[in-house]
Amino acid sequence: MANFDLTKVGVFHRKEKASATPDPVQEVEEELDASELEDFEDSGPRIIKNRRPKENKFTQQRIAAWNPVYTPQTVLPIYFIIAFIFVIVGGCTLAISSRVDEIVIYYHECKNSAPSDGSWGSMDEKQYNYDFHKNKTFNTAPQWRFIDNVNDDSEERGTCEIRFIVPETIKKNVYVNYLLENFSPNHRRYVLSYSEDQLRGMEADYKKIHENTGINCKPLSRNEEGKLYYPCGLIANSMFNDSFPFQLTNVQDPTKNYSLTNKNTNWHSDRQRFKKTKYNYTEIAPPPYWVKKYPDGYNETNVPNIQEWPEFQNWMRPAAFDKFAKLIRRNDNESLEAGEYQIDIGLHWPVTEFNGKKGIYITHGSPIGGKNFFLGIVYLIGGCICAALALVFGVFWMFGGRKIGDQSELSWNKDKFSQF
């Protein structure tokens, strides 16, 4: 390895050939860093790379900065502007929400409380709620009756028929939801109990749906015969399965029945997530709580196509709270005219074991969704807080503020003056 002698800044001469004419080398403008010293061979000169950044304001961090000084003249108007915007937004939100009409009818006590002899009975006040912004006083109780199914010996069975009055036209779009209370789908073990591979149509084996870290189908993966549950997991097994009709029957004039559909009741992205399964029906079995719908298991024709089942897709997205509503029917083309309507609901989903409630929730759309005053109240509170802070700061500034730029208020000046 050749030795070098630094004779002047930026120029190397070979020690063993000092008396001879030195080889041409490139001169370096800056002082060399130790990391730039490299071994050179006798084959010729080497160019030393310059790692110093370019000399400009950006690389040398000399760009001019804006350092605003916040004074009462600038801060107080900002508070008042924010308060004004928040109050306007909150007031508009409350006004829009107050114009949303809705009907809530709880039917979980239908089997035990409704007449079962074919006659109609009035529902108790705690089992329904009307809210129409043009008719605040309307409070006519819905009528109901229970039609038993003698061929079914399960606890939740039969049909609950409900008649209710719509006092004024509910403008489109009209949404029919089922409402559940005191059912908590937000438990960590519950929300992780499903197989994403199964939902995407893959033919996943037992190891994949049971042993996957995090998301898996424990404890409902396969039955005693060794067949895989499809769809597996706790969420699918507990799916809400009360049957809702595809029309509201007009009691006075059956020719004016109000049609409903389940199309577009799910999210658009669900169409890419849920796919038809590749399982053979001999390899899979329905979840335990689906036995009423599939008493003999799956066959060649009845394996569910979850890609075209919006009710299932909605249920597979667990709610965050123990009271929630999920869309099950809708009508985007016609308004629901005033009149008396009947809806027949098949009872299959029990709620008595966890003291739950289930009901019908009928409403219409608005620019901000359903009736909910929470967002508007939050905006109003935020606006009032900003306005109150602006007033408080303004009073302190008027009666106790100091002159901007007064150097006598600096700490070292105060210390100096305190010595005299």
- The single-letter code of the amino acid at 373 is F
DSSP state of 407: G
Does 390 fall in a domain?
yes
Q: Which residue has the tokens 């149509």?
A: 201
> In terms of domains, do 119 and 243 share one?
yes
- Sheet with 102-106, strands from edge to edge, namely 128-131, 102-106, 357-364, 174-181, 323-331
Kind and range of the H or E element at 5? strand 4-8
Nearest to 316 by CA among 390, 233, 377: 233
Instruction: Measure the CA–CA gap between 285 and 267, rounded to whole angstroms.
Output: 27
Nearest to 335 by CA among 269, 406, 408, 256: 256
> In terms of domains, do 196 and 279 share one?
yes
Does 23 fall in a domain?
no
Report DSSP letters for 99-131, one per residue: T--EEEEE-TTHHHHS--SS--EEPPGGGEEEE
Does 2 fall in a domain?
no
Residues 6 or more apart whose Cβ sits within 8 Å of residue 261: 246, 329, 330, 331
Contact 161, 145 (CB under 8 A): yes
Instruction: Measure the CA–CA gap between 134 and 181, rounded to whole angstroms.
Output: 28
> In terms of domains, do 206 and 259 share one?
yes
Contact 197, 372 (CB under 8 A): no
Instruction: Measure the CA–CA gap between 329 and 326, rounded to whole angstroms.
Output: 9
Does 40 fall in a domain?
no
* Residues, the chain: 420
> In terms of domains, do 172 and 299 share one?
yes
- Please tell me whether the overall predicted TM-score, pTM, comes out greater than 0.85 for this model: no
Q: Which residue has the tokens 């109150």?
A: 388
> In terms of domains, do 314 and 377 share one?
no
pLDDT at 310: 95
CB-neighbour burial class of residue 180 (10 A; exposed 0-12, middle 13-18, buried 19+): buried
* Beta-sheet strands, E only, within 173-213: 174-181
> In terms of domains, do 82 and 188 share one?
no
Decide which of 365, 383, 409 is a domain's last residue: 365
Residues 23-51 as b/e (b if ≥16 CB within 10 A, e otherwise) read eebeebeeeeeeeeeeebeeeeeeebeee
Start-to-end CA span in the chain (Å): 75
Residue 393 has φ and ψ, to the nearest 5°, of: -65, -35
Does 7 fall in a domain?
no
Residues 6 or more apart whose Cβ sits within 8 Å of residue 349: 156, 240, 241, 242, 358
pLDDT at 409: 65
Decide which of 343, 365, 387 is a domain's last residue: 365
Residue segments in the chain with a per-residue pLDDT below the cut of 50: 1-38, 40, 417, 420
Does 22 fall in a domain?
no
Does 381 fall in a domain?
yes
Instruction: Measure the CA–CA gap between 230 and 217, rounded to whole angstroms.
Output: 10
> In terms of domains, do 86 and 179 share one?
no
* Beta-sheet strands, E only, within 267-415: 284-285, 323-331, 339-346, 357-364
> In terms of domains, do 84 and 189 share one?
no
Nearest to 310 by CA among 230, 244, 221, 360: 244
- CA distance to 16, 116, 274, 313, 348, per residue, from 158 (Å): 108, 10, 31, 25, 8
Alpha helices in 274-368 (DSSP H): 310-315
Does 28 fall in a domain?
no
Phi-psi region of 201 (alpha: psi -120 to 50; beta: other; left: phi over 0): left
- CA distance to 15, 42, 246, per residue, from 11 (Å): 13, 16, 91
Tokens of 31: 């002082």
> In terms of domains, do 250 and 326 share one?
yes
Count of structural domains within the chain: 2
* Cis amide leading into 310 (omega within 30): no
> In terms of domains, do 293 and 154 share one?
yes
Range of the domain at 219: 101-365
- CA distance to 94, 96, 242, 365, per residue, from 377 (Å): 7, 13, 35, 20
> In terms of domains, do 126 and 181 share one?
yes
> In terms of domains, do 317 and 199 share one?
yes
Residue 193 has φ and ψ, to the nearest 5°, of: -95, 80
